[in-house]
Amino acid sequence: MAISRSELARQLRGHVELLASGGVRELGINTKAAMAAKPKKDSTPSARKTTPAKRPAAAPKSKPTQAGFKPVIVPSVALQELKAFDSKKSNELQPVAEAVRVCANCKLCETRTQTVFGTGDPRSPLMVLGEAPGGDEDVKGLPFVGRSGKLLTDIIEKGMKYKREHVYIANVVKCRPPHNRNPEPEEIEACRSYLERQIEIINPKVILAVGLFPAQWMTGKKIAIGKLRGEVHEVNGRKIICTYHPAYVLRNYTVETRKKVHADVMLAVDILGSGPLVS
Ligand code: URA
Ligand code: SF4
């Protein structure tokens, strides 16, 4: 008997959730077997026996690495995006995104749904640097797509009057810390070389560090965000501007906080000028 698409989707979701609860992190899809298994309208039981369906490929099990972690390894959204760009910088970023995709340098590799490498135009003179993926980012494979992301987009588009897709956006840590806890110092260190390569390749004129961890990462100063914001730092010939994290702004949604963030982002606009960031 035929079942509706919504019922099929419901059953499939249940099946996938069951596999996930059993530790399966990746599904192999055998399209030939799936096609062979598709019942034809006029097929009789005996006719079906003559077209044996191959067993679908078993889901690959994650193996412990040298460091003892069992990484979740799935396709990378960032890699697909970079392939579509086809510029020199996007070509150079691809092996870095691939290294991140399979990375098992810290324990966050075991609990991620997928890695969140970065998004946007690698030719941009402006890079926005956040802390780590949250729940929404972990599901979508893209940075700043949840509630904080909505505010960040408004800051870029309504405040700075740039297009979000003209900005390159990434995080200090590429995998979600469970329950959105802070990234640990050893996780930040384990992930350091990827961000270093991203910055080297993109070579942005200005980096806007949103939140304490990116602000400290960029400036190397272990002091409060309130002390780091409000000025332009110069690091390796690059301009670094620090401001509050959008999640902090949402929690402290006062005129004072929003004025400070606005003043900070306008420091970047003063350097970069108004108008399209990428032509
Ligand atoms: N917060 C961050 O710092 N980064 C994201 O990508 C999302 C939320
Ligand atoms: Fe690797 Fe960074 Fe993910 Fe840790 S957070 S597993 S270092 S990509």
- Summarised one tens digit per residue, pLDDT across range 189-239 is 999 999 999 999 999 999 999 999 999 999 999 999 999 999 999 999 999
Q: Best mutation site among 176, 187, 188, 213 for ligand 2, i.e. most ligand atoms within 8 A of its Cβ?
A: 187
Q: How far apart are CA 27 and CA 25, in angstroms?
A: 7
Quick one: which ligand is closest to 177's CA? 2
Q: How far apart are CA 276 and CA 279, in angstroms?
A: 7
| Cβ atoms 146, 106 nearer than 8 A | no
- Minimal CA–CA distance to 65: which of 183, 195, 192, 190? 190
Tokens read off for 198:
């991203």
**Ligand 1 near 138 CB (within 6 A):** no
Q: How far apart are CA 62 and CA 216, in angstroms?
A: 34
Enumerate residues 6+ apart whose C-beta is below 8 A from 232.
239, 240, 241, 267, 271
Minimum CA distance residue for ligand 2 atom 4: 106
- Whole-model pTM: value is 0.79
**Ligand 2 near 188 CB (within 6 A):** no
Q: Please determine, for residue 44, whether its predicted confidence score (pLDDT) is greater than 50.
A: no
Enumerate residues 6+ apart whose C-beta is below 8 A from 132.
171, 172, 173, 174, 175, 176, 177, 183, 213
Please give the distance, rounded to the nearest whole angstrom, from the Cα atom of residue 173 to the centre of ligand 1. Answer: 9
**Ligand 2 near 170 CB (within 6 A):** no
- Give the tens place of pLDDT for each residue, 93-150: 999 999 999 999 999 999 999 999 999 999 999 999 999 999 999 999 999 999 999 9
Q: What is the mean pLDDT of the chain?
A: 84
**Ligand 2 near 97 CB (within 6 A):** no
Enumerate residues 6+ apart whose C-beta is below 8 A from 178.
108, 111
Q: What per-residue confidence (pLDDT) applies to 18?
A: 30
Residue 29, amino acid: I
Helices marked H in the chain: 5-21, 31-37, 45-49, 77-85, 88-101, 108-111, 135-140, 147-154, 185-202, 212-219, 225-228, 246-251, 255-272
Higher-confidence residue of 24 and 186: namely: 186
Please give the distance, rounded to the nearest whole angstrom, from the Cα atom of residue 115 to the centre of ligand 2. Answer: 8
Please give the distance, rounded to the nearest whole angstrom, from the Cα atom of residue 55 to the centre of ligand 1. Answer: 40
**DSSP-derived secondary structure letter, 58:** P
Please give the distance, rounded to the nearest whole angstrom, from the Cα atom of residue 104 to the centre of ligand 2. Answer: 6
Enumerate residues 6+ apart whose C-beta is below 8 A from 103.
71, 109, 115, 174, 175, 191, 194
Q: Best mutation site among 65, 102, 107, 109 for ligand 2, i.e. most ligand atoms within 8 A of its Cβ?
A: 109
Domains of the chain (ranges plus CATH)? 77-271 (3.40.470.10)
Strands 238-243 and 232-235: antiparallel
**Ligand 1 near 183 CB (within 6 A):** no
Decide: helix, strand or coil at residue 239.
strand
Q: How far apart are CA 184 and CA 169, in angstroms?
A: 21
Q: How far apart are CA 271 and CA 198, in angstroms?
A: 21
Q: How far apart are CA 155 and CA 49, in angstroms?
A: 61
Minimum CA distance residue for ligand 2 atom 3: 175
Q: What per-residue confidence (pLDDT) applies to 15?
A: 34
Q: Give me the mean pLDDT over the 19-45 stretch.
A: 38
Q: Give me the mean pLDDT over the 149-162 stretch.
A: 98
Model confidence at 61, pLDDT cuts 50, 70, 90, reads: low
**Ligand 2 near 100 CB (within 6 A):** yes
| Cβ atoms 242, 216 nearer than 8 A | no
